[in-house]
Copies of this chain bind each other. A is one copy, B any other.
Amino acid sequence: MTRWREGVVQIVEPDGVVDLGPGHLDPALLPTDLLRTAYADAFDDYGPAGLTYGENQGPLPLREALARRVSSADGVPCRADQVVITAGTSTTLDLLARWAVPDADTVVADAFAYDHGMRVFTDRGLDAVRVPMDTHGMVPSALDEALDAAGSGVALVYLLPTFHNPTGLVVPVERRRELIAVARRHGVRIVEDDAYADVVLGPPPPTSVAGLAGYRDVVRLGTFSKSLAPGLRLGWLVTDAATAKGFAESAAFSSGGGLNHLAAVAVAGLLESGAYDRHVVWLREQFRLRRDALVSTLRAHLPPEFRFTTPGGGFFLWVTLPDGVTEEAAVAAAARAGAPVLPGSRFGRGANAAIRLSWSFHGPDRLTEGARRLAGALAGPGPR
């Protein structure tokens, strides 16, 4: 970690702080040796074929491996021609924002949703319409009303149904089906951001929204940023074959070829050999320890009027604040205690003030320390 420093990486934590904000993988969980070998193998196996302009939709070996994985997880057949390899979710959201609906003026999203993702849409000139959520996710009748009100200018409905960022919830199957039906009735595409699909810490989540929809009218986004390494800038999407082909015919692909070709052939080898699956098993164990350290410390030390549900996956714990504790006061107290958290308002607005905590960026001991600091800060008279 000789070069983990300002100017190289996005976040350098100040000394003495346990930052509970970022949804970043702990450096100790980034598999340097695994990826070193993957790249070396890719140079051996592909040679110049890994260094030229890649196939626009992404290299077939990776698309085939992902299609097998998606089919197996969802129990719904998926083929390689339904997959497009991307350079990660962020730039894919950007490419999708106005694609196929160039005159769109609106994106429809959960009351709380991934902050940077929403910024990608607004950067592209889309206004965000927020739809109320309950404990099962976006409320279908409210989506229906929002789509009625928005008219023809809706680019897409943005969902994060599995280990939702920031709330951690999982939308149940029945709710998924209802949301698909509502969006279909309005002729609007769903973009399913499934960044945390491989970070399963309990029972397997339900079939993806895309899978339940038979991969039609839904674009599901996956990424290796949460299960392998964000610095790869590698992700994928799955949808119906015609949509996949059409998207990969847009100019960014015809010009530059596959969006991240060398990284794609390197990671293809990890999927083909089973090394990726073994890594994910290991990673889940690490995250379970981390989540449990954070949760158990908070349960022991945080006053019970600070409420949270323990998520079955993903990176985040969503803590709603009791009456009389403002978000601003809670965030300020956490920062003063050396355990900064993110304000719920960064992600949207709901009935309760809330904060988001991440268990992804630190080991169990540091998380225990951070949770102690946070609980002390929130339990004290400071934030009231």
Contacts and interface: CB of A to CB of B under 8 A. Distances in A.
Interface stretch (A228-236, A271-279, A298-306, A329-337): A228-236
Interface in A11-57: 11, 24-25, 27-28, 30-32, 35-36, 39-40, 43, 45-56
Given A9-B49, A9-B55, A233-B256, A36 B27 contact: no
Given A32-B48, A36-B40, A54 B257 contact: no
A48 B4 CA distance: 8
A223 to B, nearest CB: 9
B232 A262 contact: yes
Contact of A259 (B48, B87, B95, B119): B87
10 contacts: A3-B265, A4-B52, A6-B60, A32-B43, A35-B43, A36-B39, A87-B91, A123-B251, A123-B252, A230-B261
Given A4-B49, A47-B2, A98-B125, A233 B255 contact: no
Contacts of A39: 36, 39-40, 43
Interface in A220-247: 225, 229-233
A254 interface: yes
Contacts of A256: 87-91, 225, 230, 233
A7 B59 CA distance: 6
Chain A residues touching B, range: 35 or more
A89 B254 CA distance: 12
B51 A251 contact: no
Contact of A229 (B45, B51, B59, B231): B51
A87 B87 contact: yes
A117 interface: yes
Contact of A262 (B28, B40, B233): B233
Contacts of A56: 10
A292 interface: no
B52 A9 contact: yes
Nearest to A268: B8
Nearest to A39: B39
A250 interface: yes
B231 A53 contact: yes
Contacts of A261: 230-233
Interface centre among A27, A55, A91, A98 (most CB of B within 10 A): A91
Contacts of A6: 55, 60
3 smallest CB-CB distances across A and B, nearest first, come from A7-B60, A116-B255, A90-B256
B124 A98 contact: yes
A125 B53 CA distance: 25
Given A54-B231, A91-B252, A122-B251, 16 more contacts: A1-B47, A3-B50, A7-B61, A11-B52, A24-B53, A27-B49, A31-B51, A52-B230, A53-B225, A53-B230, A89-B255, A94-B95, A94-B252, A123-B252, A231-B261, A233-B262
